[in-house]
A and B are shown apart, each in its own frame.
Chain A
Amino acid sequence: MANGKNKNLDFEINLLPIISILAVCLGMLLLTTVWVRVAAFNANQALGTEETAEKKNPSSLWVEFQNDGTIQITAKDIKNLPKYLLSFRTSDSSDARKVSNIDFHIQRIKKANPELNTALVLPSADAKYELVVAVMDKLKKNQIKDIGIAPL
């Protein structure tokens, strides 16, 4: 009861409704967030002139998509590589098996030549983009960092 001299100043801030609203907003945020990460494959392209071209080609892998659907892997300028690893062709009907075979072959080459760091992908016109990316993924998996794509 207020009198002339002294007044009662009791007050309380009720935070419970605010905290409830905050919790609901947080829950909605967590449920509606799209948990997707985007990555990329860097493909360096040659833009230099002949003057800047190196005289000696580095050892590299060429991954060629043939018109008949097969994929050929050829080792270029790699010294002391066993003959059975110089060239490989996969002709499976399933893309997943093709990629798996390619992965296995690249692992063997990399094991025989750990310094191998360069690959060139030569897709064909009717090669699926998804398959090209899957091959690049396997090259990256086997620590082949410099990947180039040769346009048609």
Chain B
Amino acid sequence: MSIISRQIMQETKMNSLIGQQGVMRPKSSSLKKTLVSGLTLTSLVDCFTILVVYLLVATTFGTEQIDISKDIEMPRAQWGDDITSGAMLRISEDSVILDNKNVSIDSLPERLAELKKKSGSETIILQADKKLDFSRVNPLVLASLQAGFSKVQFAVLYEETK
């Protein structure tokens, strides 16, 4: 009887997806109990695939990530270059912000010179609201030149080429 039951169990044993085999054996003092475990990984792998695709799409290689101020609506452009690292200067309708600190226009050249000395960078990134007149942006460009920044990057929102 025990020989027949063993044959049946051999024929009906189920293989798990990762190749492990678990064999349920009937309870018997003469037979050993064995460990049975099964892991369904297909759905988990699908989730990880979606995660990888999202990271590939969202990651931009070789470009600097910058914070966009919520009260500045930047102009759009289709042919801008990749943004590189540099000091950040923002101007909105009512404030001028240098590296996340409010500054006045009068103290701007001095603060920029300090920043240039500290960072050694030649580049300054200018985020300005699109509704401003150039007369509001001009003091920032002049102050950047006075401080020694040779490259001024005008940040824009990238627009797909139509």
Residues of A within 8 A of B (CB): 1, 3, 5-13, 15-16, 18-19, 22-23, 26, 29-30, 33, 35-45, 47, 65, 123-130, 132-134, 136-137, 140-141, 149, 151-152
Residues of A within 8 A of B36 (CB): 10
Residues of A within 8 A of B128 (CB): 129
Using a Cβ–Cβ cut-off of 8 Å, how many residues does chain B contribute to the interface with A?
Answer: 58
Contact A125/B138 with A40-B153, A130-B130 known, Cβ cut-off 8 Å: yes
Q: Are A8 and B39 in contact (CB under 8 A)?
A: no
12 A-B pairs with C-beta separation under 8 A: A19-B47, A26-B50, A40-B81, A43-B152, A45-B151, A128-B131, A128-B133, A130-B75, A132-B134, A140-B81, A151-B141, A151-B142
Q: Are A15 and B81 in contact (CB under 8 A)?
A: no
Which 5 interchain pairs have the tightest Cβ spacing? A39-B80, A130-B130, A140-B79, A40-B153, A125-B135
What CA separation (Å) do A136 and B138 show in the bound complex? Answer: 16
What CA separation (Å) do A137 and B157 show in the bound complex? Answer: 12
Q: Which of B6-14, B25-33, B102-110 contacts A (4 or more CB under 8 A)?
A: B25-33
Contact of A23 among B27, B47, B54, B82 (CB under 8 A): B47
Residues of B within 8 A of A65 (CB): 134
What CA separation (Å) do A39 and B80 show in the bound complex? Answer: 5
B68 at the A/B interface (Cβ < 8 Å)?
Answer: yes
What CA separation (Å) do A124 and B131 show in the bound complex? Answer: 15
Residues of B within 8 A of A (CB): 27, 29, 32-33, 35-41, 43-44, 47, 50-51, 54, 58, 60, 66, 68, 74-75, 77-84, 125, 128-138, 141-142, 144-145, 148-158
Q: Are B33 and A38 in contact (CB under 8 A)?
A: no
Residues of B within 8 A of A5 (CB): 29
Contact A137/B78 with A44-B150, A132-B134 known, Cβ cut-off 8 Å: yes
What CA separation (Å) do A149 and B150 show in the bound complex? Answer: 12
Q: Are B77 and A133 in contact (CB under 8 A)?
A: yes
Residues of A within 8 A of B142 (CB): 151-152
What CA separation (Å) do A90 and B39 show in the bound complex? Answer: 71
Nearest chain B residue, comparing its CB with the CB of A129: B132
Q: Are B134 and A123 in contact (CB under 8 A)?
A: yes
Cβ of A41 to closest chain B Cβ, rounded Å: 5
Q: Are A6 and B33 in contact (CB under 8 A)?
A: yes
Contact of B137 among A15, A35, A129, A141 (CB under 8 A): A129
Q: Are B134 and A136 in contact (CB under 8 A)?
A: no
Cβ of A61 to closest chain B Cβ, rounded Å: 16
Q: Are A15 and B150 in contact (CB under 8 A)?
A: no
Contact of B135 among A18, A137, A152 (CB under 8 A): A152
Q: Are B133 and A12 in contact (CB under 8 A)?
A: no
What CA separation (Å) do A19 and B150 show in the bound complex? Answer: 52
